[in-house]
Amino acid sequence: MASLKALKIRIGSVKSTQKITKAMKMVAAAKLRRAQDAAQAGRPYAERLAGVVSSLASKVTVSESSPKLLAGTGKDQVHLLVVATSERGLAGAFNTNIVRAARRKAEALTAQGKTVKFYLAGKKGRVLRRFYPATAILHDADQSAIKNPGFADARTLADDIIRRFEAGEFDVAHLFYGKFVSALVQEPTEQQIIPVASLAAPATATSGAADAAVEYEPDEEAILADLLPRNVAIQLFRAMQENQASFFGAQMNAMDNATRNAGDMIKRLSIQYNRTRQAAITTELVEIISGAEAL
Write the single-letter amino acid at 58.
S
Residue 212: pLDDT over 60:
no
What pLDDT, on the 0 to 100 scale, is given for residue 135?
A: 84
**Tens-place pLDDT, residues 101-142:** 999 999 999 999 999 999 998 888 888 888 888 888 888 877
Tell me what the mean pLDDT of segment 158-174 comes to. 90
What pLDDT, on the 0 to 100 scale, is given for residue 210?
A: 47
What pLDDT, on the 0 to 100 scale, is given for residue 207?
A: 45
More confident: 204 or 148: 148
- Distance in angstroms (rounded) separating the CA atoms of residues 244 and 239: 8
Residues in CB range of 45: below 8 A, 6 or more apart: 234
- Distance in angstroms (rounded) separating the CA atoms of residues 226 and 38: 24
Which of 158-167, 239-248, 277-286 bottoms out in mean pLDDT, i.e. has the lowest?
277-286
- Distance in angstroms (rounded) separating the CA atoms of residues 32 and 57: 36
**Tens-place pLDDT, residues 217-263:** 666 667 777 788 899 999 999 999 999 999 999 999 999 999 999 99
Write the single-letter amino acid at 75.
K
- State the pairing for strand pair 137-141/115-121: parallel
Please count the CA atoms within 13 angstroms of the CA of 6 that sit on its side-chain side.
Answer: 5
Domains and CATH numbers, the chain: 4-20+255-294 (1.10.287.80), 32-250 (3.40.1380.10)
What pLDDT, on the 0 to 100 scale, is given for residue 201?
A: 43
23-55: burial string, b at 16+ Cβ within 10 Å, e else: ebbeebbebbeebbebbeebeeebeebbbbbbb
- State the pairing for strand pair 186-194/172-180: antiparallel
Distances (CA, A) of 133 to 40, 124, 130: 37, 17, 8
Cis (ω within 30 of 0) for the bond into 195? yes
Q: How far is CA 67 from the centre of its chain?
A: 30
Give the global pTM: 0.81
Phi and psi at residue 188, to the nearest 5°? -60, 130
Residue 176: pLDDT over 90:
yes
What pLDDT, on the 0 to 100 scale, is given for residue 295?
A: 66
Percent of the chain with pLDDT over 90: 32
Residue 289: pLDDT over 50:
yes
